[in-house]
Amino acid sequence: MNLIAAADRNWAIGLKNKLLVQIPADQRYFRQMTEGHVIVMGRKTLESFPGGRPLPNRINIVLSSNKGYKPGGCIVFHDLEELKEGLKEYAPEEIFVIGGGRVYSELIGLCDTAYITKIDKAFDADTYFPNLDEMPEWELVRDGKEAEEQTYFDLIYYFQTYRRRV
C-alpha cells in the first residue's frame, strides 16, 4: 500500500481539519497519483472535501468508528480489522492512504511506499504525519531536490518518495 501527503519541514499536515497550504502542482500530483485507484481516509478527511463528497474517479474508503456513518459514494469500515479484510479485495499497489493523521499512524505499518510533497516551511499545525526521517525502516529513495526546484509564491517544495526497507 501507499501513503500520500503534503507535509511541512516538521511533518505537519493540517490545522483545524484543513490542509496547511494548497499548492496547485501538489493537487495535480495527488490527482494524477490517485485517480483510478483506491483511497483510504478517515471521516474528518472526507468531510474536509468540497461538500463533504467523495473524490471522483476513485474508490473512496472511509475508516470511522461511528457505526451510523454512511456517506454516499463511499465504502465505510468501522475498525482496523474490518478495513484490513476489506482491502484484500484490491491490489496493494492500487491503494493510497490519504489521511488524516490518525489514519496515517494506524496504517503506516501496512504500507511500503510514501509519496511526500515536502514543503520547506514550518506552519502552525495540529495534525502531523509520522516523521519518516526518524524511522529506520523507511528510506528516502527520491529526494526531489536533485530535480528543478519547485516554488509556489514564497514556498519551496519537493516531491519525495520513501520506501520501506526490505
CATH code of 105's domain: 3.40.430.10
- For residue range 60-88, list pLDDT tens digits in order: 999 999 999 999 999 999 999 999 999 99
Domains in the chain: how many in total? 1
pLDDT tens over the chain, length 166 residues: 999 999 999 999 999 999 999 999 999 999 999 999 999 999 999 999 999 999 999 999 999 999 999 999 999 999 999 999 999 999 999 999 999 999 999 999 999 999 999 999 999 999 999 999 999 999 999 987 666 668 888 899 999 999 999 8
Rg (CA), the chain: 15
| pLDDT value of residue 22 | 94
Residue-range definition of the domain harbouring residue 151: 2-164
| pLDDT value of residue 159 | 95
As a whole number of angstroms, the distance between CA 92 and CA 82 comes to 16
As a whole number of angstroms, the distance between CA 143 and CA 103 comes to 24
| CB contact at 8 A, 2 and 115 | yes
Residue 82: CB atoms within 10 A of its CB come to: 12
What would the grid cell of residue 64 be?
470511522
**76 Cβ contact list (under 8 Å, min separation 6):** 61, 62, 63, 64, 69, 70
Q: How far is CA 34 from the centre of its chain?
A: 10
Distances (CA, A) of 19 to 108, 117, 141, 158: 20, 12, 25, 17
